[in-house]
Amino acid sequence: MVVKSGTTLGERNHVFEGAVLGGLPQHLQLPEQPGGLVIGDDNIIRENATIHRSLEKDGTTRVGDKCLLMVGTHVAHDCTVGSGVILTNNVLLAGHVEVAERAYLGGASAVHQFCRIGRLAMIGGMARVKKDVPPFVLVDDATSLIVGLNKIGLRRAGFASEEIQQLKDAYRLIYRRGLTWKEILEALASDFPEGHAAEFHEFFCGGTRGFVPERRTPPSATLRLHRDESAEPDYRSKAG
């Protein structure tokens, strides 16, 4: 392994052969003084994984605690990878990507720069993530679209049945009721002010890339969009 200058490596990390930590950003206009890389504790970083320093002097690429980065994974400059994240073989994160706690990215999936992946989301192998992925959802490998909640991941994380049911209710509100984008945000804020489902509203209020849509789009959303062109864009329009 190679640990380069500008890297802060925590305790009890297991770094395998060929991994390079703290490499310079892959950018045509490299600054004279790039930023740093901070890696937490108890991570497993397998063979030939690469994690790059931040592009800007005062910036930081971050990896949390207890993550697993499998063979050939790449974490580009200015990414933030939360604790408990699993990046399987050959996952590619472009610059400025944020991956929240305990998200799981399947083999050879790739994430566009500036995208966010929410907590406990699961991305199928070889998926192409070009927009933000909300927390708790499952993105399939064939279409790179959302196909439901990550129920297995939620159970493994210790979510109680009533907590999963609350997330199901919030999911139906977002994807199945054919609401406009403004109506979705208002309903999430009023119906789910606390609990895990409250994270949906917080997540949807941020980001710059738009949001990955559901594979099954309700017909009412399409009809609503064409019927009222002056209204705020509905979720399908916002995300698609």
**Cα R_g (the chain), whole angstroms:** 19
DSSP 148: E
Given 23, 95, 107, 118, which residue is catalytic? 95
Q: For this structure, is 36 an active site residue?
A: no
Q: Helices 161-175 & 181-191, crossing angle to 10 degrees?
A: 160
What's the CA gap between 101 and 122, in Å, rounded?
A: 11
Which residues 6+ apart lie within 8 Å of 195 measured at CB?
A: 163, 166
Residue type, position 180, single letter: T
Q: Retrieve residue 106's tokens.
A: 């399947």
Q: For this structure, is 74 an active site residue?
A: no
Given 22, 23, 72, 78, which residue is catalytic? 78
Q: Retrieve residue 167's tokens.
A: 């997330």
Given 77, 96, 196, 201, which residue is catalytic? 77
Q: For this structure, is 191 an active site residue?
A: no
Catalytically annotated residues: 77-78, 95
